[in-house]
Structure 1
């Protein structure tokens, strides 16, 4: 297509939006409302996913060495644990440090055990993939000088099942909402094009090609998508920024942290703009296709 022809299509698409102002308003409103709902839901789901990741990453394995093992044996155990496939980090804690933790948790009465510490040295292990915690714990439990491996077996497995189910439900809801948005917006655009079917028929009867007729409508779909995405992008950006500025100091040091405004807002705005343009083009393409058969 020549640049001159394409320029004409752009001008015609803009003129058409002005001529059909009420239908343009209806289409843009439909895009705005649905993308605003989708955007808010994505914000909620992404932050919930952030919480799920934080909970998973907080899961660790405590490996208690045999109290009778000497220093060399514990170092050998630590070396084997560090070399285990899937292990991300191993932190060593001496038996004296473990006793100090128990005294802090349960009271000074336990300080009597400092004269004869019955505890063993401990290794705190984190997995690269938290979902593999159970498999790594079972593997470590077979090593020599391992007295006990603790990772909250039943609770961890239930936790991972709940988190995975939550992610899957969230994904299904987002896809369902996007499908609903595409259906509603494409129907609104179809009404706009149906009102102009005579215009399409006349253009076809005078010899216009399918692409010549189709391109202005596709460009209109792009403009509708951009205009419809502008308000959700602005509202969500301002709202999330204010929400982050208010809650971020209050949540400092807590398990749950909101996603940083940068680059999250930029990524979300890019996604909303892409969805608006895609839905506008798709709705225009599907709607104008049936009127090209004259």
Structure 2
């Protein structure tokens, strides 16, 4: 495409935005509101996903070894667990360490258990983590069948509910975002449809003088892109400012906790790029849908 033609298309797209001022304003406002909601849901969903991933990474399987097991049998059990393809790490925790952890976790009440230091009734333990936390239940069932695995603990009941809640929240977030994007595309599409109807005579004249289909379409594509990009600027600013203050407020309160939100940078810049891309994409897509349906060129 020649530079002169590109310049002409750009000018026409800007002229159309100005000429259809109220419709342009309405479309940009609709895109801004929709993308603001998308941005908010996206930020919440990504942080929930980050927190969920952190929680999942803390899910571990504790394999209590049979007290009567010999060192050779313990080694065999460890090798069997490590040979499973789902396993990430296997850490041996001797019963003395288990007793120390129990005492420290109970605080002052744990002093009573110091009496058992000479005759420790606890089991040695293998602390197992899977590569994918979602494989925890399947791995537990495999380990329970192994010899000398006296008990297998993994937070039964809580883990299942945790994974279920995480999966539901992720799926709901995706559905909401996709729904909002389609709403934005529908709004832009309708706006451009009205513009196309108002310019039918102009389009007919262009066809009569030999303008190609793409020559006629390009200004509408660009117009849709500008509507999307301009409409995404306000949501970008709003989401960035709100997240900055939310991050500053929460970062100290969550310090030392396993629950952490995503760092302001580079997360906000990633959100900015995503919203600008979404704005441009839904604008162009809205134009494409309008032209396909209303322009017989």
TM-score, reference length from structure 2: 0.91
Name the residue aligned to 1:108: 111
Name the residue aligned to 2:206: 203
Q: Distance in 2 between matches of 1:65 and 1:51?
A: 32
Name the residue aligned to 1:264: 267
Q: Distance in 2 between matches of 1:14 and 1:180?
A: 24
Question: Structure 2: which 5+ runs fail to align?
Answer: none
Name the residue aligned to 1:4: 4
**Alignment of structure 1 residues 137-286 onto 2, 5 Å:** 137-286=140-289
Post-superposition shift, 1:103? 2.3
Q: Distance in 2 between matches of 1:196 and 1:56?
A: 56
CA RMSD of superposed structures (Å): 2.0
Post-superposition shift, 1:290? 4.4
The superposition leaves residues 46-92 of structure 1 with CA deviations (integer Å, 9 ceiling, x where unpaired) of: 11122222222221100111122344433443333233221112222
Decide whether the 8 Å contact of 1:197 with 1:291 is kept in 2.
no
Post-superposition shift, 1:221? 1.2
Q: Distance in 2 between matches of 1:167 and 1:29?
A: 28
Decide whether the 8 Å contact of 2:64 with 2:125 is kept in 1.
yes
Q: Is 2:33 aligned against 1:33?
A: yes
Post-superposition shift, 1:40? 0.9
Q: Distance in 1 between matches of 2:27 and 2:68?
A: 76
TM-score, reference length from structure 1: 0.92
Decide whether the 8 Å contact of 1:204 with 1:292 is kept in 2.
no
Question: Structure 1: which 5+ runs fail to align?
Answer: none
Name the residue aligned to 2:67: 67
Post-superposition shift, 1:207? 3.1
Q: Distance in 2 between matches of 1:256 and 1:115?
A: 38
Name the residue aligned to 1:49: 49
Shift in alpha-carbon separation, 1:129–1:290, aligned structure 2, 3 A: closer
Name the residue aligned to 2:97: 97
Post-superposition shift, 1:276? 0.9
The superposition leaves residues 166-189 of structure 1 with CA deviations (integer Å, 9 ceiling, x where unpaired) of: 222222222222222221222123
Residue aligned with 2:123, SS: coil
Shift in alpha-carbon separation, 1:198–1:143, aligned structure 2, 3 A: same
